[in-house]
């Protein structure tokens, strides 16, 4: 009997969250049916509105993995340091190199002897945006935000790579990885070694399978993140009055951007989920610069991102990562505000 019980499938964290969400919505519908129905309609309408921009980004993200382009991208990190940092920043700002996480690729590159500076440049720029995120940002917050976020990711990579280069003579910069089982497993499964590069993926059954798997994984991730996020946006709009946040993170508040970066970012959960909530916050008084600072810093210094990186990097490069991410996020917020004021 014990063996049969042990063999029973267990729910994953994602499945548990979905079940909790469905159960909570069902219970709420018993007490506030009209409000829940309005929320459901808002979520469906929002998904339909953003779909023409989001779908091409998802397809591109899946093709990058299935074609083996991520391996070609990794090669750009080798060579002259200045060029490597520039290439890593540019690539990180526009491409999803390893699906949802870049940890396997980054750990593999560092273990393979690639210097920390270009790896840090990519590590800082990559989480901020990618094709699917770019399209979703444009659909949710507008083209200016999508472009600004991409430019901010590139500049953050340049700042991170250059700042790390200054410490290249330090011992921890030459050996930044921790020596533990986690790093060993990550290096062993680095996705950059999966497939040789080939543009035409449809002639290969294995690549078609990888494309379909990546397509479903990205679509599933976006839906799981966006559906509750759009629901939260609807609730937030229902509860808050217009301009409710003006006194805290509004354009005329001196501490708006630092507050968004240092307080909001650690609680940041997911880039897709943050977009509808950020739109609601802007509608209720958050300044554009504070919103940009929140989105950029949340992508790189959220508590979840920090928890993933800390077991991989030694303490000095980990602290350098945090400092560079926070400085870059502040500059992104102030820079975006300055550009908007000049237009």
- Mark out the alpha helices in the chain (DSSP H runs): 2-7, 13-31, 33-67, 69-75, 81-94, 103-111, 116-125, 131-141, 143-165, 171-174, 181-188, 205-239, 246-249, 256-259, 271-283, 288-301, 303-309, 315-342
Residues present in the chain in total = 343
Reported confidence tier of residue 107, pLDDT bands at 50, 70, 90:
low
Query: With pLDDT > 70 as the criterion, what percentage of the chain qualifies?
Result: 68
> Are 285 and 244 spatial neighbours (Cβ–Cβ below 8 Å)?
yes
Tell me how far apart the 2 most distant CA atoms of the chain are, in Å: 72
> Are 112 and 27 spatial neighbours (Cβ–Cβ below 8 Å)?
no
The residue with greater pLDDT, 246 or 231, is 231
Round to whole Å and give the CA distance between 292 and 334. 9
Span 261-275, average pLDDT: 68
Q: What pLDDT is attached to residue 104? A: 54
Round to whole Å and give the CA distance between 260 and 115. 32
Answer yes or no: is pLDDT of 43 > 80. Answer: yes
- The region that residue 8 occupies, defined by phi over 0 for left and psi between -120 and 50 for alpha, beta otherwise, is beta
SS3 category, 80: coil
**Arithmetic mean of pLDDT over the chain:** 75
CA angle 127, 129, 131 (to 5 degrees): 130
Span 7-19, average pLDDT: 52
Residue that is written with structure tokens 């949340």 in the block: 298
User: 46 is written with which tokens?
Assistant: 């929002």
Query: With pLDDT > 90 as the criterion, what percentage of the chain qualifies?
Result: 10
DSSP at 313: B
Neighbours of 35 (CB within 10 A): 14
Q: What is the pLDDT of residues 46-100, one digit of tens each?
A: 788 778 767 876 787 678 778 877 666 666 666 678 888 888 888 888 765 444 4
The residue with greater pLDDT, 4 or 229, is 229
| CA-derived radius of gyration, the chain | 21
Neighbours of 269 (CB within 10 A): 15
Round to whole Å and give the CA distance between 84 and 82. 5
Q: What pLDDT is attached to residue 155? A: 93
């Amino acid at each position: 009997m014990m063996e049969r019980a042990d063999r029973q499938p267990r729910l994953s964290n994602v499945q548990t969250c979905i079940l909790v969400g469905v159960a909570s919505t069902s219970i709420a519908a018993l007490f506030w049916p009209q409000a829940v129905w309005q929320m459901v309609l808002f979520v469906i309408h929002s998904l339909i509105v953003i779909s023409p921009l989001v779908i091409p980004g998802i397809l591109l993200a899946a093709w990058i993995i299935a074609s083996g382009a991520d391996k070609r991208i990794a090669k750009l990190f080798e060579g002259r340091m200045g060029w490597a940092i520039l290439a890593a920043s540019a690539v990180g700002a526009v491409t999803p190199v390893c699906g949802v996480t870049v940890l396997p690729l980054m750990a593999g590159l560092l273990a393979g002897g690639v210097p920390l500076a270009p790896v840090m440049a990519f590590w800082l720029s990559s989480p901020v945006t990618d094709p699917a995120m770019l399209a979703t940002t444009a659909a949710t917050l507008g083209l200016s935000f999508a472009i600004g976020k991409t430019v901010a990711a590139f500049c953050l990579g340049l700042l991170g790579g250059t700042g790390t280069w200054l410490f290249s003579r330090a011992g921890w910069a030459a050996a930044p990885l921790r020596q533990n089982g986690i790093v060993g497993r990550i290096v062993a499964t680095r996705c950059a070694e999966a497939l040789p590069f080939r543009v035409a993926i449809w002639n290969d059954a294995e690549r078609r399978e990888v494309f379909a798997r990546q397509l479903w994984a990205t679509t599933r991730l976006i839906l799981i993140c966006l559906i509750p996020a759009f629901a939260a946006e609807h609730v937030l709009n229902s509860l808050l009055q217009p301009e409710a946040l003006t006194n805290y993170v509004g354009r005329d508040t001196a501490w708006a951007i630092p507050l968004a970066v240092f307080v909001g970012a650690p609680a940041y959960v997911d880039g897709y989920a943050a977009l509808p909530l950020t739109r609601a916050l802007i509608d209720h008084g958050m300044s554009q610069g504070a919103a940009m600072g929140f989105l950029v810093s949340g992508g790189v210094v959220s508590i979840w991102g920090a928890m993933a990186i800390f077991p991989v990097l030694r303490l000095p490069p980990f602290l350098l990562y945090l400092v560079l991410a926070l400085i870059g996020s502040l500059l992104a917020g102030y820079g975006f505000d300055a550009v908007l004021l000049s237009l």
